[in-house]
Every structure is written in structure tokens, then in C-alpha cells.
Amino acid sequence: MDILIINPNTSIDFTNRIDFIAKSYANPGTNVKTLNPQTGPGSIEGMYDAMLSAPGILDIFLRNHSKFDAFVMASYGDHPMISALREITHKPVIGIAEASMQVACQLGYRFSIVTSGARWVPLLEESVVKYGLSDRCSSIRSIHLPVWELESGSQIDVIQEITNVAMLAIKEDKADVICLGSGGMARFHKLIEEKLCVPVVDGVIAGLKMAESIVQMGLSTSKQSLYATPKKRPLQRLPEDYSSPNDNQEPGIAILK
Amino acid sequence: MDILIINPNTSIDFTNRIDFIAKSYANPGTNVKTLNPQTGPGSIEGMYDAMLSAPGILDIFLRNHSKFDAFVMASYGDHPMISALREITHKPVIGIAEASMQVACQLGYRFSIVTSGARWVPLLEESVVKYGLSDRCSSIRSIHLPVWELESGSQIDVIQEITNVAMLAIKEDKADVICLGSGGMARFHKLIEEKLCVPVVDGVIAGLKMAESIVQMGLSTSKQSLYATPKKRPLQRLPEDYSSPNDNQEPGIAILK
Amino acid sequence: MDILIINPNTSIDFTNRIDFIAKSYANPGTNVKTLNPQTGPGSIEGMYDAMLSAPGILDIFLRNHSKFDAFVMASYGDHPMISALREITHKPVIGIAEASMQVACQLGYRFSIVTSGARWVPLLEESVVKYGLSDRCSSIRSIHLPVWELESGSQIDVIQEITNVAMLAIKEDKADVICLGSGGMARFHKLIEEKLCVPVVDGVIAGLKMAESIVQMGLSTSKQSLYATPKKRPLQRLPEDYSSPNDNQEPGIAILK
Amino acid sequence: MDILIINPNTSIDFTNRIDFIAKSYANPGTNVKTLNPQTGPGSIEGMYDAMLSAPGILDIFLRNHSKFDAFVMASYGDHPMISALREITHKPVIGIAEASMQVACQLGYRFSIVTSGARWVPLLEESVVKYGLSDRCSSIRSIHLPVWELESGSQIDVIQEITNVAMLAIKEDKADVICLGSGGMARFHKLIEEKLCVPVVDGVIAGLKMAESIVQMGLSTSKQSLYATPKKRPLQRLPEDYSSPNDNQEPGIAILK
Amino acid sequence: MDILIINPNTSIDFTNRIDFIAKSYANPGTNVKTLNPQTGPGSIEGMYDAMLSAPGILDIFLRNHSKFDAFVMASYGDHPMISALREITHKPVIGIAEASMQVACQLGYRFSIVTSGARWVPLLEESVVKYGLSDRCSSIRSIHLPVWELESGSQIDVIQEITNVAMLAIKEDKADVICLGSGGMARFHKLIEEKLCVPVVDGVIAGLKMAESIVQMGLSTSKQSLYATPKKRPLQRLPEDYSSPNDNQEPGIAILK
Amino acid sequence: MDILIINPNTSIDFTNRIDFIAKSYANPGTNVKTLNPQTGPGSIEGMYDAMLSAPGILDIFLRNHSKFDAFVMASYGDHPMISALREITHKPVIGIAEASMQVACQLGYRFSIVTSGARWVPLLEESVVKYGLSDRCSSIRSIHLPVWELESGSQIDVIQEITNVAMLAIKEDKADVICLGSGGMARFHKLIEEKLCVPVVDGVIAGLKMAESIVQMGLSTSKQSLYATPKKRPLQRLPEDYSSPNDNQEPGIAILK
């Protein structure tokens, strides 16, 4: 099985770390590849950045679609490209935020999310509402560091800060499980879990395992309503391929011939 | 007061009709301009199209920001650029779907939305949940015509079809108010209202009036959490201006000097 | 256009201040008049007071209905006369609490309401639930002053107290926007906004702008379900007119001939 | 124990029937009295009628408060006087709609309410949301007869119509329990239950039993927040007693000496 | 009328105290008996204990069913045997947690539950969600004492601790009413109420009064959906009676001949 | 990795089929074993049956705990033993209903559950509310066959009936994904998916893949609140081991030495 993880920002360091952690947890038969866009922000700090990253993500997806069985969007939060890509493929496209919250729901009553910058708090609140998990989410707390400082700052300091904030979530908000709410926190989960008394869920790994499971189950994205293949319609100054979904029934990207 | 309405698709016919209807309802002192992107789909039929339309919308916004007091995104539904643009300006950015539902809530107990293509049903359900209005929304029904066929098809047939579907919403779903759930339905509202026994709310007009009201009230977008100005961070192969928000306190677009 | 603002309490000072602030924000073509009942409490401190104020409000409404295009009930909260009056007229009847929360929803992720006396906290919580906006409301906080002391106390102290409580809502409850939750706070909004970093919405102005917008849009109260015109039924010791709704289709008060 | 049931409309026939049914189900030691206002509508067909009935209800309450241990408002729905009266007394004031839904929740998974006129459907939906019982309520259906025709029409026809509508609620909406959603349906419950396969709850009886239970438990209305005793404030042209709550701790009406 | 209260744990001291308090509040014509299982935990500290207590509870129920008109499960929380027993009888089976919250909803805007051990907090949160009362519940707080220490510890200390925690619920969580969230707190309610300014509801008494009311109203458990009588199906190594529900229409335990 | 699947009913045919389907989808390194209790009902048709099956399930669990890394409760619905077992082990205990709904949420906007007997409809509604997924669940429909007739009836007929009901869920309820809501439907999923246009999720497989994923991620049940290890307390006539949790930190069953 071949799984493509898309790091939505342009940081190669991020991509390498995500790739390393994903390969460490992949099944023996799973071939993991991690790519990042050539254009866009070095870290996704909000919806504006998400929009700037979109063309580069679409470019990766269109070039690589035929080679992979499933896709993991390594953006913790409801990146609008998750929904957009599901429209143009039968193959599974997994969001890491929803996947990690689902794992957390199997392990405890309530989870808290520890995220990077402060804007992610309201953004993730919106996602939690959308996923229907408000009653299961005890809190979303920020370490008040933008995503890209997770990379550049002292790793020990960053881990300590995540641990401190997670401890508050456990004590004050009654969290039973901690979700690390940023793709940039990948690789820290076990170091943090050692310092806490509760399970710590990494989103990239949760997304990878969900992707593997769904491929093994032989399941694909439903084309019934929200993710139905787009119909033909006029497009201005975009490559012709974008506008020509073919309607063959086989799983495969609809807009490519 | 100067208000820019952004038609998110590339159809000039759409733009002209939106412009006409908005000018008909604007206050005497309001100068309305309607623009559409140069690139992207001819109609926005889902999240994939919304993403394709984004670069063109951003281009319009950046070129015209300084000339206008408020912006109306004439996309019925939660186009991710509404949130993205709010991050980079203090000026109001109004979504027409939320504005029309707010008007409906002042006129009756429950509203139904009549929209164009079938995919808009789940997309608008997500928006209604996000706006918190699930209990006030009796139903979302589609006329099963893609947005761009609203333009090309027989106008009489389209109006009749919207009326028929609205009648079902009133009878079966107990709607007290009908919201026309597509920018492409602008100009039909009074013709439809005559055939029904309930108020019919047009989104473009509702959005325009909300924009005028907020400008008159001297209010601006809150920069406190979700829409805080982005911080400086590395950008790959994007114009330098995108990455350099200035932090001056005056209302004005943060990322332009 | 003629708009009647109803101050539900008997304080003429209140009425004058509401009238002044509303006239300052009205469109050039809008004629605003503000009236208060001749009987009832000097301030509405709860549901008991709301009930005491009802006969006087009905009296104003019946005497003035034919002269105005829309009505604004300047009671922050879900005064039962808002719903009652909507039953007996086709013309719009606007509640200022819902209008101000709607404006707030266009400007930020979450709003907090700062209100006068402590009882308004649970009363406004009920309203927020009814309007469907629980997820958008970060908190409701009281300055622990009854409405009528807003008038009689030192204005500087009152403004300072509102500012202090709003600051707590911003810092502790993560409010992006502040709604002033009492008709008696009209005129303070800009003084408070200057001291805060977020938009401050005044309810009377928000209600007035919503009324103007709805009249300009040519919309009326839906008579479909909740606000249907009452049918003829026996009335004891009440003026005969109360019981005789006429059913003509033109907008106009149903119970008057 | 002495319990006052307040029929909110002016129909003496209603009052007599409510009184009869309540006396049939009262405990041996309970003295039940049922009164109706001298002024107001002959049946309460909506919020406008509720407001017209209010002064007469308040008059009954003030005259009789000292003689009774608890009060039952025999209005199926959230009559605003329930909340208003709770502000001015320590004694229990019971709403029959909430009481009947509570009984239903002990007997099955979901209840449906069968009510009189069509406007009660949205009014009761608002009440169900306020009581928090949306997930437990399968439907609210109307027999499309105004309350006062329950009295004047053929009793056999009315019972048959209620039965027919209840049957639909059971079959189509999956109701496990039927609540009779109108004080005017009192006395029909056993006749209807015989024709159905599910329990049928009468609101007046449920309200009476709840009142008896709360008095026996020695419990009183909480004066902590929503129902706190009103503070002294100016009143225009109302009896002086209305404005002078005494603050003695004993259960007793606060505004009377 | 004969009512059986089932104390789900094996502590005879508990049983005696529950029996005493229930008899003190029963109607003159009500014969109350309280029994506890012969097997299982001495106190129910969670779902594991609830499961261990189940066979003993079933044994009591099957032996005594024919002798009683209604059953009260004196377990504060959603013991799965409440639902299970409702399947096999037409007679009412009352849960004390739901009953006490219902009483609280008639007395104030929001209630808080003060419970024994810490695990009951998430367990009762689940129950509150299931009963639909999340918006009416201000908080659930634990005194951090397991149920069985309520019995063995100093009564004065336990009462003081409950009072302290209830005071926090009133001050910090804005509770209007306190529910004592453990069958083991029966008999403390009036002592605690004296020290507080709000009503205190005991669950055993609330459950008993609800059982009496429902029997007097002639109502029975709905057999329509959730509590329908089980159909015949194979059973392994269980007494034959368990598998043979009779389908006679009379109220009576279905599985006994 | 060793995973124990517990079939909660006593049917060996069921156990064999579950075992076969699980082994077909297990990872190469996963050793799957499926066991059923020696006592209890031949199929679990409601909460009463769930309670009858509990002692047998506990017996299996206690005997086999040390040999397995994770446990899957093959009961579609919220069997109370899922929560009970999580209290007494650090190892993951997976519910198949929640796991299958989580997979469905990654593949479409809304899922419907097709279940066996009619009682499962309200039972699964309760579960969906508890899991927080009400907004994601379009409907729960029953084929009106008790679980054990899935086994004994004609397989072709059963498959056809499930397909028919699923088709209704897709057309009328707008389901994007179908969840097979009964452990007894295991092995039918691909046959049904071929006849439908949407993905069909089998709960046993979803539960198995979630168990494998969580074990590979090195995660365990949180012992923080709901699933904390029970404290020592008196037990009547139960094996001594039941009452003696040891508190060692290693993953392992807490109550066994």
C-alpha cells in the first residue's frame, strides 16, 4: 500500500520529521512518502495561510494521485483542501485532527488539544463543533508559539512548554487524553507522555493508521453528496484538465484522464 | 461610503446582475462596485471550486482594499476566503449567507434555504451549524440546477422551480421565511415572494445592508483571536508583500504598506 | 421611512437618551421617534417587570401602529411583547438583543454580553439559547447595577465598571466582541470601545439599522406559523378591537380596522 | 396542603373541568382550588393572548397568595407569568408542560405532544428547547382546533381527532408516550389511552402531582438568580404594593406585607 | 400503593437509612419497602461495580415484582438496570437521578450536583447529556469521598464537606438548586439546606414522590420501542424463566408466568 | 500483537463468522482470537440481554486478559461492559459501533446505521448522542429482524433486506455512508456495497483495525477519570480477586495479581 502524506507548509525540516515519524509507525507493507508544496507559507498559522498553501497542495495532489492509495493531510485543523480533494478522488483523504480525536475518544471520556499559536484555538473549536465532538473535548489550549517556532526554538523548551500546558488541561479542564494539535509537534508525543499520567495522541500517526485501516478495509470516499465529483463547467485561465472530470466508476482521480 | 461586492466566480453576467440588484437597494450615499476574479471557475459548485477561485479573489482584494470601506463576499455559503480576508483587514468583510439568515431570524420562527446544485445542501448544513442556527433552520432544499445554469437556462423556468421548491419547504418543513441560497438567484426574490405567502430574503441585498449598517456604526473586524493579523513568517515563491503585515493600529489592510 | 422605538420602561431620561443616540445613527431619510409607556416600572429588572410593562407597551403600539413602518423594542433581552406584537402586525418588530448579537457574529468568533443587574445573566442566557447562538457567546457578565442606577449613578463610574467587566470577558472568556446588554447603556459604546481592543456593539443602534434594512428590503413579518394573525375568540372586559383581527393582505396591524 | 390551580383564560367551563380532574387525582390531604382571571381572552391561542391574560392572572395571584402552599399554572406552554410569579414568591409555581414532559421521560424514550391550534407547535418547540428536552421529544403535532373549540365542539369528535393525531405521532415519529398539550384537553386522557398502545400524560394532573411532591419535600423556589426577589424601583401608575418587596426570609410572597 | 426501593449495593446500613428517609416522606397510603442485593459491591463506585451489582438486583426484582406497584432504583446515576428492568415490566421503574433533576428544574434556572467519589463526575455528566439537561446543569462536583465512606466517616465532617462543595457550586458555577448526587447522602438534605441559601433536593425522596405520582396517575412504562418486552430467544445456562416473556397485555412482569 | 474479540452472545455460529471476517482483515502480525461467553442470551436484543450477558463476558475477560494486547467488544451499541472493562485494565477496549462511525466520518458527510431488531433504533440513538455524532448521523433504520434470525434466516433474503433498507437511508435520509449496525451482519458488507453506490462499513473490521492501530501507537486506556482503577471496597459473595485492584503502573489488568 502506498500512502502520501502532504505537509501543507513549505518547510523541508517539517516534511522530514513528519516522514520519519510516519515511517516509524507504518505497517511493514506500507510505503509512506511525505511531500510539501513548492509555494506557500513556511507554516500554516491560520485560514489566510491555508488559502495561500492551497495551489501548491493541489499541484502535489494532481501530480501524485495515481501513484498512491490514500492521502493524509498533515495539517492539524480543518484545512479546506481536505474537503476539496475529497471531491475529486474516490481514494481516502484523511484529516489528522479528526483522526486523532477519534483515537482519543476510544481511550477516555474527554480529550484536550494542545496547539501551537493562539489563533488555532478558535480555529480548532470550529473544527471540533464540525466533527460533532464538543461534548468530548474538555479544552483547547495554546502554547503561544507559532508553528514555525516549534522547529526553530529549543526542542527541550518546546517539549517542556507543551507538557506544562497539557498538565493544566488535565488538572483544570479534566482532560483524560491529550491530542497534540499541530503537525509540527510530531516526534514529541512519547517524551511528553512519559511526563504525564495520560495517553498522548500524535495526529500524523493517527492519520496514517486511519489511512492504512481504510485502505485495508477496501473503502473509498463516498461520492453521494458533499464529495460528489464536480460536473463540467467553464473555467477561466486554469489548466483545461481541472474542468473535465471523467465519470468512470473505478476509484481514481476524477478530473484526470 | 464605498462597498466592494466580490462575485467569487468569473461570470461577468453574474457580476452585472449582482451589481444591478445591489445598486437598486443601496443607500443614497453608498457607492457600490462589484468585481469578479480573472481566474477560476465560472460558478462555484463546491469546496473544490471555492479553492480554485481563491487566488483570483485575493488579487481583487489586495488591489482594491484601500478604496473601500467594507467588503461583501457574494458567495452563498461559508467560502473560506471570508475568514481568510478578515485576518488581513480591520474593515468589515460580510458573508451573504449569514447575513440573510440573520434577517430571516427577525421575521419568523424558522427559515428554509433554497439553493442551486445538490452539493450545496450539505455545504450549507455545515454553515448553518457553524453559525449556530440549526434550531432556526427548517430545511435546506436544492433545485438540482448547478449555479451556472441559473444564468443560461430559461429565467421563467428557474423562477418556477425555485417557487415550487420553496412551496415544499413551507408546507412540509414548516418554513416561515425563505432564503435564496445562491448569489445567482439575485433579482428573483420579489417575483418569487409574490407567488408565496412568506417573506423571501435575497442574500446579496442582506449582505449589502449589513455592510452599510456596520460601516455606519463605525465598527470593524475584531483582531482579538480568530481574525488577528498574521505574524511575519517565511513564504516561498509568493509576492513579498504577502508576508509582511504591518501592525499599525488604524483600520486598514495589515499586509500592505 | 418612519421607525418607532419603544423604550419599555417609564423613564423619560432613558427615552431621551435612546432617542438621541438613535437619531445620531439614523439614515438621512429615516424619521425616528422614541416613546415610553405611561404605566409600568421605571426600569425592567426581570420578567415580572416585563409583564408589568406590557399593557403600557401595547397601548403605545396600538395608538401609533399606522404611522410607522417598523418598530424597535429597546429592551435588551427577549421581552415577551416582541413576539406578541409580531402576531398582530405585518410590519417588522425588531428586538435589540438579537440584532446586536447578529452584528457581533459578523465581526468576530465569539461575543460577550455585559449587562446591568445580576438577574439579566440567566435571562440573557435563555435568550441566547433561543436565538441559537450558544456556541458564539463566550459569556454574559453583569456589572451588578440595576438598570435604573445606570441613569442615576455617576456616568464616569458606570462607564469604568462596564469597561472593567468587558476587559474580564476579553481576557478570561476570550470574547472578540462586546455587546452592551442594556438599553440603558446607550451612548457609552464609543467611550468604552476606546478603552478596549475590540469592537463594542450598542443594541439600540443595531436594532435601528436592522429595522431600516428590513424596511428598505421591503420585507415583513411572516404570518405563517409563530406570528400568524390571531383568530377571533371571546375576550372578557377588554376593548372589542383586541378581538377582531381583519385578514386583509396588506401589511398593517391585523387587529385594527 | 392547599394548591391553587390558575386557569389562565376566562372560560368558566374550562375552570370547572380542570378543577374536577385535579380534585379526582389529588391526595386525600390536598385541598385544590381552581380560579380563572376576570379579564382576558377566553382561550390562550398564542403569546399575544398570554400577554392579555397577564394582569388578570397577577390579580388572582396577589389576592390568593397567602392562602396556598403552591401554584399550578394550567397553561400548556411557557406562559411568561410562570417565570414572573416565581420572582415574587418563595412558594413553588409549577408549569404543567414541563411537568408532563418530565413524567413522560420516566416512561419512555421519546414523547410527542398533541396540541390544539397550529400556533402552539412553534411555541411548544421553543419551550422544549428551553427545557432542554429536544432530544427526548419526537414531535409536536396540532389537531388544528383552537383551544376554545375543544370546549364548544363535539367531545367525541375532538377525542377522535386527538387519537388520530397521536396515532400518527406513534407510527411516524416513533413516540413512546403522548403528552396532551393543552389545558383544554384535561379529562380526555384515559379515553384516549384506551385507544392507543402507549401512556398518555395529562398536564394538569402532572402539574398537580409535582406541586404536591414539592410541598411534601419542603422545597421552595430558589431566590438565587433567575427568580430572585425584585429590588425596590420606581413604578408609574401601578399600586404601590407592586414596588415594595419585603425581604423577609420566610417563604411567602415577597411583594406583600 | 406498594413501592419497592432497591438499594443497589449490599450495605444494610445504607438500606436502613434509605428506608427511613423514604418512609418519612411517603404518602399515608403508601407502603414502602427497601431491599438490597445479597451479592455485589458494598458501594457502587462506577460502571464496573454497577455490573457486579446487576445479578443481585435482578434477583430482588424477579422475586418481588408481583407484590409492588412501582420500583425506585436508589442509584444516583444511570444504572443500566433501570433500562433493563423497564424492558421486562409494565410497571414504572424510576431513576432517582433523573427524578431529582426534574424537581430542580421546577425550582430554579440551573442545578449543580454534589456527588461522592471523583469517578461519578464523568458518569453523571454522561447521564445529564442523556437526560437532555446539559443546559440546565451548572456543574457536577465531587467531595472526593467514595460512597461507602459516606457511611463510615464522621457524619459531621461529611455534611460539612458537602456543604462546602455546594457553596462553591453556588458561588462559582451559579447553581440555583443543589442535587445531592448519591443515594448515600440520603438524610443530610435538610441539614445542608439550612446552611445554604438554595433548595437542596434528595434523590431518594424525589424518586419516591415521582413513583407515587405515576402510580396515582395510572401510568405505566411504554412498551413501544426502547422498553418493549423482549422476544423469545435462546438462553444458555440461565433459568428458563428468563427467556420466556409472556405477551399478555395486563401490566405485570413480562418474563414471569 | 494479540487481539481478543468478545462476541457477547452465546452463539458459536456468530463467533465463528466474526472470527473468520476478523482474521481476513487482520494485519499479518496480528493474532486474532474470538470467544463468546458460556452463559447468557443467544443474541443481545436490548439492555436486558446485555445485562444477562455481563457475567459471562467478565469471566472471559478475567481468564484471558494477560494473553492479549487489546480487546474488541463485538456488540454494536454501547454495551455497558465496554465502560466497565476499561475501568479494570490499562489495555485498549474498543467498541465496534463507535469505531465504525469514526471510519464513516472520514468518508462522507453523514452516515446511516442499518440495524437488526427495532429496539436497537432507540438504543443506538442513545449511543450516537453519547458519542457526540448526532449531527453526522442521518438516520438509524431497522430491518425488523432480531439479531439471532440474521443467523437462522435465508442469507440471501437478509442481505436483500439490508440492501433495501440501506437504499431508503441513502435516498430519503441522505446518507453518504452505511454502517452495518449489528455484529451479526459481519461478512455481508462487500455483497451489500456492490449493490449500493456508497461505502459500507462493517463494525467488527472497524473495531479490529482501531485496536491494531492503538496498540501500534503504544497507547493505553486513560486512568484519569471515567476509567480510573476501582479502589478497594467491600464485596459480598464475589471472588476476592474482584475487590483487590493492584495499583502498579504497568499496563495490565488492575484487579489481578
**Conformation bin of residue C252: beta by default, left when phi > 0, alpha when psi is -120 to 50:** left
User: For residue E33, is pLDDT > 90?
Assistant: yes
Query: Do residue F222 and residue A133 have CB atoms under 8 angstroms apart?
Result: no
Q: What's residue A239's pLDDT?
A: 57
Round to whole Å and give the CA distance between D33 and C197.
59
Q: What is the DSSP letter of A231?
A: P
E48 close to F (CB below 8 A): yes
Chain D contact set for C51 (CB, 8 A): 51, 54, 58, 80-81, 84
| Mean pLDDT confidence for E48-52 | 95
- pLDDT of C206 strictly over 60: yes
Residues of A in contact with C170 (CB under 8 A): none
Distance from CA of C142 to the nearest CA of E (A): 13
Q: How far is A142 from chain F (nearest CA, A)?
A: 22
Residue E201 CB contacts under 8 Å (≥ 6 apart), including other chains: D217, D219, E100, E103, E104, E107, E111, E177, E178, E179, E180, E189
Q: What residues of D are in contact with residue F128 (Cβ under 8 Å)?
A: none
Residue C241 predicted with pLDDT over 70: no
CA distance E190 to E184: 15
The CA-atom distances, in angstroms, between A160 and each of A20, A111, A142, A157 are: 22, 20, 13, 5
Of B106, B107, B136, nearest to C132 by CB-CB distance is B136
B122–F109 CB contact, under 8 Å: yes
The subunits that touch chain A, with at least 3 C-beta pairs less than 8 Å apart, are: B, C, E, F
pLDDT by 10s per residue, chain F, length 257: 999 999 999 999 999 999 999 999 999 999 999 999 999 999 898 999 999 999 999 999 999 999 999 999 999 989 999 999 999 999 999 999 999 999 999 999 999 999 998 889 999 999 998 898 988 999 999 998 877 777 777 888 899 999 999 999 999 999 999 999 987 888 899 999 999 999 999 999 999 999 999 999 999 999 999 999 988 778 877 655 554 444 333 333 334 33
Residue C34 has pLDDT above 90, yes or no: yes
Instruction: For A172-193, write each residue's pLDDT tens digit.
Output: 999 999 999 987 888 899 999 9
A105, A107, A135: best to mutate for the E interface, most E CBs within 10 A: A135
Condensed to tens digits (0 to 9), the pLDDT of residues B176-185 reads: 999 999 878 8
Average pLDDT (E23-37) is 97
Here the cell at position D202 is: 395529562
Chain A nearest CA to C134, separation (Å)? 12
Asked if C191 is an interface residue toward chain B (Cβ–Cβ < 8 A), one would say no
CA distance B237 to chain C (A): 31
**Residue F51 CB neighbours (<10 A):** 27
Among the ranges given (C139-143, E63-67, F243-247), the one the predictor scored with the smallest mean pLDDT: F243-247
Q: Does A53 touch chain B (CB under 8 A)?
A: no
Cβ–Cβ gap E176/D103 under 8 Å: no
Contact across the interface for E109 and C129, Cβ inside 8 Å: no
Distance CA E156, CA E154 (A): 5
Query: Please, which pLDDT band fits residue E168 given cuts at 50, 70 and 90?
Result: very high
Q: In terms of Cα–Cα distance, which of E223, E69, E70 is closest to D197? A: E223
**Set of chain C residues whose Cβ sits within 8 Å of the Cβ of D48:** 84-85, 87-88, 230
Instruction: Tell whether E174 is within 8 A of chain C (Cβ).
Output: yes
How near does any CA of chain A get to the CA of E123, in Å? 9
C110 in A contact zone (CB under 8 Å): yes
Query: Chain D residues with CB inside 8 Å of E218's CB?
Result: 190
Query: Are the C-beta atoms of residues B113 and B141 closer than 8 Å to each other?
Result: yes
Q: Which amino acid is at F169?
A: A
For chain A, what is the mean pLDDT? Answer: 89
ipTM of the complex: 0.92
User: Is F134 an 8 Å CB contact of chain B?
Assistant: no
* F231 contacts chain E (CB < 8 A): yes
Q: Work out the minimum CA distance from D44 to partner chain F, whole angstroms.
A: 35
With CA atoms as reference, report the closest residue to B204 among B81, B2, B11, B20.
Answer: B20
CB < 8 Å to A128, chain F? none
Nearest CA in chain D to B135: D129
- Coil, helix or strand for C227? coil
E59: how many CB neighbours lie within 10 A of its CB? 14
Strands E137-142 and E111-115: parallel
Q: Which residues of A touch F127 (CB under 8 A)?
A: none
pLDDT digit string, tens, across residues A44-98: 989 999 999 999 999 999 999 999 999 999 999 899 999 999 999 999 999 999 9
Q: Is E177 in a helix, a strand, or coil? A: strand
Answer yes or no: is pLDDT of D247 > 60. no
How would DSSP label each residue in B217-235? TT-----SSTTPPPPP--E
In chain E, DSSP finds a helix count (H) and a strand count (E) of 9, 10
Closest Cα in chain B, distance from residue D133 (Å): 13
Residue-level pLDDT at B232: 77
Mutation target to probe the F interface, by most F beta carbons within 10 A, among D135, D137, D173, D176 is: D135
- Residues in A closer than 8 angstroms to B53, CB to CB, are none
Q: How far is C140 from chain E (nearest CA, A)?
A: 12
What is the tens place of the pLDDT at every residue in A3-14? 999 999 999 999
For residue E203, the distance in angstroms to the closest alpha carbon of chain C comes to 25
Predicted confidence (pLDDT) per residue in A198-217, tens digit: 999 999 999 999 999 999 99
Task: Say whether D129 and B135 touch across the interface (CB within 8 A).
Answer: yes
A256 band by pLDDT with thresholds 50, 70 and 90: very low
- Residues from chain D that touch F126, judged by Cβ atoms under 8 A, are 109
Chain E hits for D170, Cβ within 8 Å: 224
Q: What is the pLDDT of residue F214?
A: 98
CA trace torsion C58, C61, C63, C65 (10° rounding): -150
Gap from D142 CA to chain F (nearest CA, Å): 24
Position E248 scores a pLDDT of 38
Q: Which residues of D touch F121 (CB under 8 A)?
A: 174
Nearest to A233 among B37, B42, B235 (CB): B42
Residue B116 has pLDDT above 70, yes or no: yes
| E167–D contact, CB cutoff 8 A | no
Range of lowest pLDDT (D103-107, D144-148, F156-160): D144-148
Residues B37-68 have pLDDT tens digits of 999 999 898 999 999 999 999 999 999 999 99
> What integer pLDDT is reported at residue C253 of this predicted model?
37
Whether A248 and chain F come into contact, CB under 8 Å, resolves to no
Q: What is the pLDDT of residues B198-237, one digit of tens each?
A: 999 999 999 999 999 999 999 999 999 999 998 877 787 7
Among D45, D121, D242, select the one facing C52 at the smallest CB separation.
Answer: D242
C159 pLDDT band, cuts 50/70/90, is very high
Per-residue pLDDT band for C145 (boundaries 50, 70, 90) equals confident
Scanning every residue of chain E, which has its alpha carbon at the shortest distance from the alpha carbon of F123? E226
Interface touch B40/A238, C-beta < 8 Å: yes
* Beta carbons of B129 and F135 less than 8 Å apart: yes
Q: Which residues from E are below 8 Å from F85, CB to CB? A: 48
Interface size between A and F, measured as CB pairs under 8 A = 153
Q: Whole-angstrom Cα distance, residue B82 to residue B85?
A: 5
What is the share, in percent, of chain A residues with pLDDT greater than 90? Answer: 75
- Over residues B106-128, the mean pLDDT reads 93
More confident residue, C175 or B254: C175
CB atoms within 10 A of CB A195: 14
B7 vs A167: CA distance, rounded Å: 47
Per-residue pLDDT tens digits for A140-176: 999 988 777 777 778 889 999 999 999 999 999 999 9
Tell whether C20 is within 8 A of chain A (Cβ).
no
**C48 close contact with A: CB closer than 8 A:** no
Q: How many residues comprise chain C? A: 257
Q: Which residue of F has its CA nearest to B129?
A: F135
Among the residue ranges B111-125, D237-251, E7-21, the one predicted with the least confidence is D237-251
Average of per-residue pLDDT across A128-136: 90
**Torsion angle (degrees, nearest 10) of CA F3, F7, F12, F13:** -100
The answer, yes or no, to whether B and C have at least 3 beta-carbon pairs within 8 Å is: yes
Tell me how close the Cα of A137 comes to any Cα of chain F, in angstroms. Answer: 10
Distance CA A15, CA E105 (A): 54
Question: What is the number of other CB atoms lying within 10 angstroms of the CB of residue F38?
Answer: 12
Please tell me the predicted confidence (pLDDT) of residue F253.
Answer: 37
Mean pLDDT of C96-109: 97
What does the pLDDT average to over D68-78?
A: 95
pLDDT in tens, B6-31: 999 999 999 999 999 999 999 999 99
Domains and CATH numbers, chain C: 2-96+208-242 (3.40.50.12500), 97-201 (3.40.50.12500)
The sign of the dihedral angle between the CA atoms of F172, F174, F177, F182 is negative
Residue A67: exposed, middle, or buried by beta-carbon count in 10 A (0-12, 13-18, 19+)? exposed
